[in-house]
């Protein structure tokens, strides 16, 4: 049985893994690429690759047995526009993204990631600032980044990191704070389960702007600023001595 969670900070998962180039993964490497980070058992991408044959689809997953099973499903259907790779995205993905041909990464999805609820475990969450910057650097104007979760405590920090980069904007007319529907034609298994129970799904679609990504230090400072402002407000409450 495959473990539901693995610790991405353990020594094994911190080893960098060189990832194959698109030409080694797909029959037509120049097709627009959809990258699904945390693809789990891979059934979402399996269905999407069949519906969208003029896209390449790459799933990344940190649990190796799930990658092997998903890859076998794609091979059984002889899908040449679908591949899955085993890696820790926060360790191995940035160099791969930096080497991509310009404009290839047209869509990124990050759906229902492991929540890691305890504060001390937040550094295990998948969308860390460095990864957000690597994605922004690899995408071009109007390329898409789609995130969703059924846990507010997970989606809100993701939104905070993405918007702090200054590189993404929500499409005009999208409902706020959350989209009402999934912009993709296929729902993940988790999404289907949550909706079948009449529970909410929190979604945001972003499009890459022409803004240049900040440095990692600048992004970390932007993310820390609201915390500093909150701490300052707590240390300096409004005076109760003010005269009417």
Which contacts (CB < 8 Å, 24+ apart) does range 194-200 have?
194/150, 199/150, 200/150
Round to the nearest angstrom and report the end-to-end CA distance of the chain: 68
Active-site hit among 30, 36, 73, 114: 114
Count the Cβ atoms, other than its own, within 10 Å of residue 24: 9
As given in the structure block, the two tokens for residue 141 are 């104007």
Give the whole-angstrom CA distance, residue 99 versus residue 97. 5
Give the whole-angstrom CA distance, residue 93 versus residue 41. 19
C-alpha closest to that of 112 among 162, 169, 57, 44: 44
Residue 114 annotated as catalytic: yes
As given in the structure block, the two tokens for residue 231 are 């701490």
Residues taking part in catalysis: 114
């Amino acid at each position: 049985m495959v473990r539901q969670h693995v610790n991405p900070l353990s020594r094994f998962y911190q080893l960098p893994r060189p990832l194959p180039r698109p030409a080694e993964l797909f029959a037509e490497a120049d097709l627009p690429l959809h990258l699904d980070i945390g693809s789990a058992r891979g059934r979402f991408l399996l269905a999407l690759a069949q519906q969208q044959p003029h896209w390449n689809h790459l799933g990344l997953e940190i649990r190796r047995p799930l990658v092997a099973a998903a890859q076998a499903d794609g091979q059984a259907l002889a899908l040449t526009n679908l591949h899955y790779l085993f890696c820790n995205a926060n360790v191995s993905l940035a160099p791969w993204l930096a080497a991509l041909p310009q404009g290839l990464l047209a869509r990124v999805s990050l759906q229902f990631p492991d929540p890691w609820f305890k504060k001390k475990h937040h550094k295990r969450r998948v969308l860390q600032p460095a990864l957000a910057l690597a994605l922004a650097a690899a995408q071009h104007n109007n390329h898409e980044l789609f995130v969703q979760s059924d846990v507010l405590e997970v989606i809100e920090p993701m939104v905070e990191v993405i918007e702090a980069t200054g590189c993404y904007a929500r499409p005009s007319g999208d409902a706020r704070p959350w989209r009402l529907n999934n912009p993709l034609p296929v729902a993940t298994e988790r999404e289907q389960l949550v909706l079948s129970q009449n529970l909410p799904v929190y979604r945001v679609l972003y499009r890459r702007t022409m803004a240049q990504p900040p440095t990692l230090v600048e992004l970390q400072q932007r993310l820390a600023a609201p915390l500093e402002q909150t701490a300052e407000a707590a240390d300096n409450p409004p005076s109760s001595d003010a005269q009417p």
